[in-house]
């Protein structure tokens, strides 16, 4: 076998690997979508089982997390009560040794 034949085999193998990788990604996507659809259907069924006509409805929450690789976009808090900012201020105060009594309304 000469170098050209080996190069051709390598390119064919790379093309096959790429094709298989794309097929696997599509199968994973279809699987995730099927799970999401089934979960939504189960949530709807649960709602209809528990719903009583004429009564108030409580919130039924269904969520999915990290369903795709490579996406680092965590959901933020729904309500911000200032805890993150307060923690950042505490860290600054501690880093620079600022007396806490000099900070307005700062208590850990």
- Average pLDDT over the chain reads 78
Alpha-carbon distances of 19 from 25, 26, 32, rounded to whole Å: 10, 11, 20
Dihedral pair phi/psi, residue 42, rounded to 5° = -65, -40
Q: What is the pLDDT of residues 62-101, one digit of tens each?
A: 777 666 665 555 666 666 677 777 888 888 888 888 776 6
> Where along the chain do its domains lie?
1-50, 81-108
Output the pLDDT for position 12. Answer: 92
Please state the three-class secondary structure of the chain as a single string.
CCHHHHHHHHHHHHHHHHHHHHHHHHHHHHHHHHHHHHHHHHHHHHHHHHCCCCCCCCCCCCCCCCCCCCCCCCCCCCCCCCHHHHHHHHHHHHHCCCCHHHCCCCCC
Kindly state the greatest CA–CA separation across the chain.
Answer: 81
12-21, 35-44, 61-70: which range is least confident on average?
61-70
């Amino acid at each position: 076998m000469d170098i050209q034949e080996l190069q051709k085999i390598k390119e064919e193998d790379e093309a096959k690997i790429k094709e298989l990788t794309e097929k696997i990604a599509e199968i994973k996507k279809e699987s995730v979508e099927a799970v999401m659809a089934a979960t939504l259907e189960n949530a709807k069924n649960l709602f209809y089982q528990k719903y009583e006509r004429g009564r108030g409805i409580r919130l039924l929450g269904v969520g999915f997390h990290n369903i795709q690789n490579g996406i680092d976009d965590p959901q933020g808090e729904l309500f911000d009560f200032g805890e993150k900012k307060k923690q950042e201020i505490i860290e600054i105060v501690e880093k620079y040794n600022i007396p806490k009594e000099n900070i307005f309304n700062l208590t850990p």
